[in-house]
Amino acid sequence: MDKIIQRALSVKIAIKYLTALLVFVFVAVYVMNNESLSKLKKESIAKGELVAQSSGQEYADANKKLLKDMTTSLGVYRNEAMAMIRGEKPDRELFYEAIGNTIREKKGGGVLSFFTAWEPDGFDGKDKSYLSNPTYQAMQGRFAVQATYNGSNVVKSSLPRGFEKEEYYVAAKRTKVAFATKPYVTGEGDKQTLITTLSIGVVNDFGKYLGMIGVSLSLNDLQTNAEAVHPNGGNVSLISDEGDYIANGKDSSLLGKSFAEQEGHQAMWEKLRKGEMTQYANDEQGVKQLYSFVPLTISDGEIWYVMTEIPYSKITESYRGSQRKVMTMFFSTIIVLGIVIWLLTRYMITLPLKRMQVGIRQLALGDFTGKLRVSIQDEFGQMASHLNETTGSLGAMMKHTSELAMNVGATSEELTSSSEQVTASAESISKAVEEVAAGMTEQNDQAANTSRNMHEVTDGVRRIAESAIAVLESAKDVSAQTEKGDLLIRQAVEQMDEVNVSMTRSTSSMDRLREHSEEIGSIVELINRISSRTNILALNASIEAARAGEHGKGFAVVATEIRKLAEQTRDAVLKVEEKIESIRTETYRMTDVIAFTSSEVVKGSATVTDSGKIFSSITAEMKRVHLQAEEVSSSVGQLSAGIEQAMASVDSVKEITRMSTDNANQVAAASEEQLATMQEVTSSANHLSAMVQDLLDRLTRFKH
């Protein structure tokens, strides 16, 4: 049975040691491998993000040329139109021919039509002259036409009615810069076409909107290009600035639909609008994907986004392969190390421990005569030598302990007899001291009651003294505040007189200001009549210059400038008249306000004077109150001093009584403690005697 127990113990020790070593090796190898795999994972993700970014950028570069060229063309046409208008030679047919040549050169190529639309009389001011022209008749002569390529020729036609409400016209009028409309789908089935419109507003040198120029583009080529790109098993899509799909290489049925409205895409769209171009999220099937966005600038303030979508599993494919290889090597290494460590543990640890276990077992049974055999002076050999030394020391100590126990038993019996005699004497002393303490306690209680009553009287007198002092201080403060109030009232009367004088002067100044404003109004009216006469003279000069023909052109320019100057003068005069009228109205109002304020100031001055008289009466009364408060405070102080002397005498008696009581209680407590101590000594001596006998009985089991 003992052999089975020893073997179980040796196996347990070996298993524990081996387990601890394996855990250490496992953790060390796992940490190193995990760090390596983490680095490899980051590199795989970075590579995948780079591939997605590059694919999106290539798609953007390949398709933005058409959009960029059209934006540039619109800018050129706007400049040509403004050059015609500035030169006062706008020509509708010439301008239409320019945009028609462009679409003819493109021969389609994604360009569906060029068009232009102008405000009434915005292009050449001759809308009425084109009322009979079939092209412009439907638009009441407005310059609003489009050029469409039908495969062989350029077809000219007017824009449909209500074009002013279309997004391309409204946006151009609102932004006055290049603008791309929201893409929309036309046609059915295989003939569906995704279309967007680029438009740009035309304004004159004064910022007035005149019209717009636009182009309709087919976006089908963008869809075809998107379907041909599949980086790392993913796909490419194009999203408009408003969040609609323009191209989708994964699902063409989503064209024209909102990206944000797709499942799980709302949060992605919000992050994208905040500038987060690389995101990870689950697709509609719950599969984790990498989404990389590349901005594609279409026009001022208009940005589309190229989205590259790659499965996360494709990005980390190489990482997961390396992970499997590393984990296989890791577990193989752990198994080999476990076998080697088990063998070393068995022959270097388990067997020496079994021999030591036998010696410790004998020691536990009380046999201090056995010795372990030491063959090798390693750590376990040194432990066996120390165990032999411990066995010898314990044997000698047990023998010496047995001898001491016999001597302690004899001494404890003598101690028990002496303690019983001391206990009887201590009981007599304790009873006598308790009777003295009871008498002193009663005397202490009577002194305490007397002291308590005197304290109450003292507290009442002290509160009266404090109240008298507080009344004296309050009287001082009120007297000082009253004198200060009287001074402030006198100052207020003087200030009210000065304010009255200032209000009189302000009234005079406002009257003079009103007279000056009326004089300025007369002068402005004269300037207005002069500008009107100048305008008429400039108009007559223009007519005479027109009659003079070529010789009067220079004079016509001067007359035009004079007429403009006269009109500007007239406008300025009208504004000045408005300002003068406003000043005159405010002047009348301020005159009335100042008059009313002056009367109120007179009333206020009288009120302040009356208040000053009242404050003077209050000041005299407060001085009398202050003198009476000083007399009361002095009398209460003398009474308080006498009571405090009596209180000191009572406290002295009380303290003497308390000290006597405390001393008697201390003597009684000491006697009781001495009695309790002697009882404990007697009990301990009896207990010690029993313990010595038990110790002697136990020592008989050991061999030494």
Do 187 and 56 share a structural domain?
yes
pTM over 0.85? The answer is no
Helix (H) or strand (E) holding 105: helix 92-106
> Does residue 664 form part of some domain?
yes
pLDDT block averages, 10 residues each, the chain of length 704: 50 61 66 71 84 87 77 88 88 91 76 92 92 88 90 86 88 80 73 82 90 88 84 88 85 83 87 90 85 83 86 79 74 80 73 73 70 70 75 72 69 67 64 63 66 66 66 66 70 70 72 73 74 70 66 70 74 75 74 70 69 67 67 64 64 66 67 70 72 69 62
Do 438 and 306 share a structural domain?
no
Helix (H) or strand (E) holding 399: helix 379-548
Q: What is the pLDDT of residue 440?
A: 57
Do 305 and 431 share a structural domain?
no
Q: What is the pLDDT of residue 189?
A: 64
> Does residue 329 form part of some domain?
no
Cβ atoms 184, 195 nearer than 8 A = yes
Do 436 and 305 share a structural domain?
no
Instruction: Give the count of beta carbons closer than 10 Å to the beta carbon of residue 347.
Output: 9
* Residue closest to 163 by CA, chosen among 181, 149, 188, 177: 181
Q: What is the pLDDT of residue 331?
A: 77
> Does residue 703 form part of some domain?
no
CATH assignment of the domain containing 59: 3.30.450.20
Q: Give residue 294's domain range.
A: 49-315
Q: What is the pLDDT of residue 545?
A: 66
CATH assignment of the domain containing 606: 1.10.287
Q: Whole-angstrom Cα distance, residue 336 to residue 599?
A: 112
Reading the block at residue 74, the tokens are 């619109």
Q: Please, which residues have CB within 8 angstroms of residue 513's CB and are 6 or more apart in sequence?
A: 583, 587
Q: What is the pLDDT of residue 463?
A: 74
> Does residue 554 form part of some domain?
no
First to last CA, the chain: 27
What burial class does residue 223 get, using C-beta atoms within 10 Å of its C-beta: 0-12 exposed, 13-18 middle, 19+ buried? buried
Q: For 117-139, write each residue's pLDDT tens digit.
A: 999 999 999 999 999 998 898 88
Q: What is the pLDDT of residue 142?
A: 93
Do 121 and 264 share a structural domain?
yes
Domain count for the chain, please give it: 2
Q: For 137-187, write each residue's pLDDT tens digit.
A: 888 899 999 999 887 888 899 998 888 888 889 888 887 777 777 777 777
Cβ atoms 573, 524 nearer than 8 A = yes
SS3 12: helix
Final residue of a structural domain among 315, 336, 355: 315
Q: For 370-416, write each residue's pLDDT tens digit.
A: 676 766 767 767 777 777 777 777 777 777 776 776 776 677 667 66
Q: What is the pLDDT of residue 314?
A: 82
